[in-house]
Amino acid sequence: MNRSFVYGGIAVLVVGIIIGAYLFFQLPEPDAPVATSAPAETETTSTVPAEPAAPTPVPPSFDVVRVDENGNVVIAGRATPGCEVIVRDGDIEIGRVTADRAGEWVLVPEVPLAAGERQFSLFAECEGAAPVQAERVIALAVPERDGSVVAVAVPREGAGAAEVLQRPSLAGAPVAVGAVDYDDDGNTTLSGVAAPNSTVRVYLNNELVGTVQADESGRWSLTLDRQVSPGSYNLRVDQVDSDGQVVARSEIPFVRAEPLRNLPAGRVVIIQPGDHLWRIASQRYGSGFQYTLIYDANKDQIRNPDLIYPGQVFTLPAAK
């Protein structure tokens, strides 16, 4: 064997071992962490907007009550937008509806009203707030047979002006006074009907005391800017055109006196503007629904419970 060949192979083998050892010791350890460059930390602030507080609900209100000859009802009014409105007939719920974005609501109960006397109350339930009740209730009389339905909005508690919401018998009147209310100090509010969007002038004993515009439905209401002292008056309302010419006129007498209180049974009384049948019955009998006692005892003077006039003389019968 050639000795130089053997020595050359050994040399190559030794060199390979040295190179392999060098490469082995240069490898990273299996558990050694791999260095990475981390981005610089930046300080951030997170702001969470506070939730807006829920609006305080306002008491709901009745604006429209309409009952046809079959007892079908349409009720409308206002409430806080988004709140659920509940209408009750006494203790019985007759329907509920949600007020729209404008705060308006309309309810058409599924069941027609039976004949009789009833009282509607109104509530609103709003998310995150206690239920609120309307300041007024609706006193309603539905006749047994064909006849005029009377719907009157009256204060739920205490004294205050009444508003007749349904008075079909005045629908054809060109201009008329429908209600006169005053308090113990003589602050007086008048309401009635006229041609839609017409101008109405109001006179006491031929003295102009106010001017008002009828709305699109022909209803008007005026609170006098002066107190009316006790005494006898002639109340006149004129509907005038754009030139100020009178196109329709209505006159009624009334007596301004102290509100009737503690009336004994059978007493003859002079009807005052603030003493409509509902109010007299509430004061005398403890319930406005007893106004039918007064109506029955004075039918010869009353064509409709909604059409009594100040100055008329009525008898108050004993309670049954």
Per domain, the residue ranges of the chain are 58-158, 168-256, 268-315
Q: Is the pTM of this model over 0.85?
A: no
Contacts with 190 (C-beta within 8 Å, 6 or more apart), sequence order:
177, 179, 180, 202, 210, 221, 222, 223, 224, 235, 237
CATH superfamily of 58-158: Immunoglobulins (2.60.40.10)
| Reported confidence tier of residue 52, pLDDT bands at 50, 70, 90 | low
Q: Which of 4-18, 55-69, 101-115, 241-255 has the lowest mean pLDDT?
A: 4-18
Structure tokens at 308: 């009594």
| Reported confidence tier of residue 94, pLDDT bands at 50, 70, 90 | very high
Contact 256, 204 (CB under 8 A): no
Contacts with 251 (C-beta within 8 Å, 6 or more apart), sequence order:
234, 235, 236, 237
> What is the Cα–Cα distance from 284 to 262, expressed in whole angstroms?
6
- Asked if the domains 58-158 and 168-256 are classified in one and the same CATH topology, the answer is yes
- Domain 268-315 matching CATH 3.10.350: the answer reads yes
Q: Which amino acid is at 126?
A: C
> Per-residue pLDDT tens for 238-260?
999 988 899 888 887 776 766 55
pLDDT of residue 4: 47
pLDDT of residue 314: 78
Q: Residue 41 pLDDT > 90, yes or no? A: no
Closest CA to 234 of 201, 211, 205: 205
According to DSSP, residue 282 is labeled H
* Residue owning tokens 């209180």: 261
Q: Which of 2-6, 198-202, 308-312 has the lowest mean pLDDT?
A: 2-6
* Residue owning tokens 């509530």: 123
Highest mean pLDDT among 54-63, 73-82, 250-259, 304-313: 73-82
**Beta strand spans in the chain (E):** 61-67, 73-78, 84-89, 92-98, 104-107, 116-125, 132-133, 136-142, 150-155, 163-166, 176-182, 188-193, 199-204, 207-213, 219-223, 231-240, 246-256, 268-270, 313-315
Interval 168-193 mean pLDDT? 71
| Reported confidence tier of residue 95, pLDDT bands at 50, 70, 90 | very high
Closest CA to 98 of 125, 62, 121: 125
Structure tokens at 4: 């130089």
Separation in Å, CA 287 to CA 27, 147, 277, 299: 104, 23, 11, 20
Centre a 10 Å sphere on the Cβ of residue 82 and count the other Cβ atoms it contains: 15
Q: Which amino acid is at 256?
A: R
Closest CA to 263 of 314, 214, 303, 222: 314
Residue 170, sorted as left (phi over 0), alpha (psi -120 to 50) or beta, turns out to be: alpha
Q: Residue 27 pLDDT > 70, yes or no? A: no
Fold for 168-256, please state it.
Answer: Immunoglobulin-like (2.60.40)
Residue 265, sorted as left (phi over 0), alpha (psi -120 to 50) or beta, turns out to be: beta
Contacts with 10 (C-beta within 8 Å, 6 or more apart), sequence order:
none
Contact 263, 203 (CB under 8 A): no
According to DSSP, residue 159 is labeled -
| Reported confidence tier of residue 168, pLDDT bands at 50, 70, 90 | very low
